Structure 1
Amino acid sequence: GNGFDQHTNVVDSVRLIAILTAITGNLDVPGGNIFFSMPKLGPCPSIPVEKKCIGAQPYPLFARSFPPMLDAILSGEPYQPRVLIVYHSNPLLINAWEDRVRKAFDKLEFLIVSDVFMTATAQMADIILPDTTPMERFGFQPYAGYDGGIIAFREKAIEPIGEAQPVFDVEYAIAEKLGLAPLYPWRNTEEWIDYKVRPSGLSFSALMENPIHYVGPPLIYEKYKERGFATPSGKVELSSPRLASLGLNPLPIYREAEVLPEEKYPLQGTTCREAVYVHTQFRNIPSLRAKAPEPLLRIHPRDAYPRDIETGVYVTVSSPQGTIRLKAMVTKDTQPGLVVIDFGWGNPGDGGPNVNILTSDRERDPFTGATPNRRFICEVQKET
């Protein structure tokens, strides 16, 4: 998610912005927040299960939150997850409090990771499956646009190299072993794409012939005048009856952070990402690495000078969760009392520390379980 999402007031903050947009008359009008047309896609099938999703009780609106999964692995409540399959993700680096994630993964009976590269998460796996790159598999992406909904198709350029397999093919093979294959409307990636685009009047063969299709109506403003809004009342709901029925605040409120700077940890920390990288990817590409060779801590002169910190020296950053070491940059681009640390490092061979060694998941957004990956308390000391 975006930096705005990685705080414990995320839902109420987003709701407040949406409310301000509505009451100032900026919904679905030129220059405002527009509801674009999206392509129609086939729904993902589901099967009835005896047990609810692990996060359903604490976060009924967002049951797939990751922190409750860690809670369940470590505590066995509401039931004990035993096997985890990870693909298209690097949870050891991207989730708050690396030490806790590591302990949870160590407790699993079996961890499978499918990836193109050896990642920090893959290093913990019992089995590593070689994934395909985007150039070795078919794919598609739906988009919204002024001219209508768009479906863009990507044809594979080459056959998978070596033993690499698309993740879906692995998933389907597991489903066959578990006796779940009859519940799947498809058997491979091509059939999956065909199923997903069918409601938009397309097929896999049609995408092979033409990779770009406009399948939705062109943009129309103020659609709510005829259709209303996608709420129970059909209106903009400043106060949400659905949230109230779940025991949640129907109106956005401000909640002060539970963990604030203290004598031992007088600074606040946040994270950023260098523009040449995406999340935890691409630090193994020499041309990009030359532009951003290592992670940095940015600290304001007012905080640096009393600590005898100059640009280029190595420092240790400590929080209640852990300690990391990295190079400092003294700059006025940050504000006094706040240090900014590069995110996404910590994979094998990149030589950088994972900033989420410093973050915590104790404090969470009450709607989604979002953790404060973008805010933590800390102290910085010059390395001696």
Structure 2
Amino acid sequence: MSFANTKRIYEGLMKQDLIVAYEHMITPTEQLGDYVLPGDSWLERPSMMVGISDQAMQPPGECRSIVHFWHELARRMGLENEFPWQTPEELLDYRLEPGNTTWAEVVASGSMPKMENPEKKYEKTGFATSTGKVELYSTIIDDLSFDPLPCYREASPESEEYPLCMFIVLPDDEYYRTGHRHIPDLRKRAQDPAFFVNKADLSDLGLEEGYWARIETLTGRMVGRAFIRSGMPKGLVRVPHGWWKPEAPQGLSHMSGMWSFSDAQTTPDEEPDLIDLEQGIPHMKGVPCRLTKLTTAEVKKLESVFGETLPMPNAVEKNVPKRESTKDFMADIEFGEDVELQAVELSLYGRSSG
């Protein structure tokens, strides 16, 4: 439920005969499920991507790996031969077989297996284009009836109804996408979604810093607290990503705060001027919006459902010294400063130019 135009996604899911979710906690998406299968977390499974990550612990209770799930589903559908692997290790061994190694050997070596990557392979095979050449004029995109040359498209102009523009990029330091919002210490530091605005915009809109506000687009709306950021240009609003509150009421009416706090409700996916036409990707920047102050009655209604929170600015502005180079990962020998401490400062005080 963090995809663009959440309402449309929700309506589509609710038309399905059966929804089965696989997770290790009850998120808004899982609250739609007819069945919720307990999954494992990344520490409870072996994996390999840019590095190796061995299993640190066994999944608790009835939690099972996703490989186990797909194998059992295939077996029940008579497709066991199509997905014969019963454990993550078996699947990893299959993927590693062309390199004449196994997962156990990779873990024992402590490093990723080296893959053969012939230098200048393109001299023999050409590039992966229809001409086999580097294409500034893309024949593939031309065949799809799009402009084959790179082009700049102006953002949609503001209107009287939506006089501001928003962007959804800058993450909260405390969280990663939709995750970690169930961790009490992090929630104490960032209790609510925060809109970052220019001081002049805050004044023009009749808003006080830290007060509740509503952001609205053609697609939907969400609420959060408004804070001044000196680096924000006039007319631009930063909207945080991935907000929900695990402790909040569940069920279709509230979905743990998703209907109130999720930015995905505001992100368009149907307006031709607000999506990447070639890929269908919704714009995260330059979306026309308006920002309005919540009335006292609206704030009371919000707090009656989600409780009172403090109007604290997450990522308080503070200049953090920047260094051109670091001789050691954890300690800056040249300046005698602890890099780990600087990372903590960045987390506590935010990223501001200094």
The normalised TM-score by structure 1 is: 0.67
Within-5 A mapping of 1:174-185: 174-184=73-83
Alignment of 1:194-213 (within 5 A): 194-213=93-112
Does the aligned pair in 1 maintain the 2:216–2:290 contact within 8 Å?
yes
Is the contact made by 2:5 and 2:269 (CA closer than 8 Å) also made in structure 1? yes
CA deviation after TM superposition for structure 1 residue 244, in Å: 1.8
1:372 to 277, 283, 294: 283
For structure 2, the residue ranges without an aligned partner over 5 or more in a row are 249-256, 296-354
2:87 maps to 188
Could you say which residue in structure 1 is the equivalent of 2:161? 264
Shift of 1:168: 1.7
The change in CA–CA distance for 1:241 and 1:273 in structure 2 (over 3 A counts) is same
- Alpha-carbon distance in 2 for matches of 1:274, 1:177: 43
Q: Which residue of 1 aligns with 2:141?
A: 243
Residue 226 of structure 1, CA deviation = 6.7
Q: Distance in 1 between matches of 2:245 and 2:9?
A: 15
Correspondence for 2:172 among 255, 260, 274:
274
Summarize the alignment of residues 86-105 of structure 1 with structure 2, pairs less than 5 Å apart. Answer: 92-93=1-2, 95-105=3-13
Alignment map for 1:276-355 (pairs within 5 Å): 276-349=174-247, 353-355=261-263
Aligned residues: 281
Give the CA deviation at 1:282. Answer: 0.7
Describe the SS at the equivalent of 2:281: coil
Q: 1:291 to 1:218 in 2, by over 3 A?
A: farther
Which runs of at least 4 in structure 1 moved beyond 4 Å after TM superposition?
A: 217-220, 222-228
Structure 1 pair 218–109 and aligned structure 2 pair: CA distance change class (3 A)? closer
CA-atom RMSD, angstroms?
2.3
- Counterpart CA distance in 1 for 2:173 and 2:96 is 33
Aligned-pair CA distance for 1:347 = 4.5
Judge conservation of contact 1:96–1:373 (CA < 8 Å) in 2.
Answer: no
Task: Give identity over the alignment, percent.
Answer: 28
1:245, distance to aligned residue in structure 2 (A):
2.2
After TM superposition, give the deviation of residue 291 of structure 1 in Å: 3.2
Unaligned runs of 5+ in 1: 1-91, 144-151
1:270–1:338: 8 Å Cα contact kept in structure 2? yes
TM-score by length of 2: 0.73
| Preserved CA contact (<8 Å) 1:270 1:341 | yes
* Aligned twin of 1:112: 20
After TM superposition, the structure 1 = structure 2 runs for residues 55-74 of structure 1, keeping only pairs within 5 Å, are none
Give per-residue Cα distances to partners, 1:316-364, cap 9 Å, x unaligned. 2222223322111022221111111111102432767001222211133
Shift of 1:253: 2.2
Residue pair 1:358, 1:376 contacting (<8 A) in 2 also: no
Quickly say closer, same or farther: Cα 1:323–1:232, change in 2 above 3 A. closer
- Judged with a 3 Å threshold, the aligned counterparts in structure 2 of structure 1 residues 123 and 375 are, in CA distance, closer, same or farther, namely farther
| Cα distance change on mapping 1:275 and 1:229 into 2, 3 Å | farther
Distance 2:38 2:64 in 1: 7
**Taking CA–CA contacts closer than 8 Å with sequence separation of 6 or more, which of the two structures ends up with the larger relative contact order?**
1
Please say if 1:381 is aligned against 2:278: no
Between stretches 190-199 and 242-251, larger displacement belongs to 242-251
Q: What secondary structure does 1:327 align onto?
A: strand
Residues 107/339 of structure 1: CA separation in 2 closer, same or farther (3 Å cut): same
Checking the alignment, whether the CA contact within 8 Å between 1:318 and 1:380 is kept in structure 2 is yes
Match status 1:171 vs 2:70: yes
Paired amino acid for 2:266? L
Q: What is the deviation of 1:217?
A: 5.7
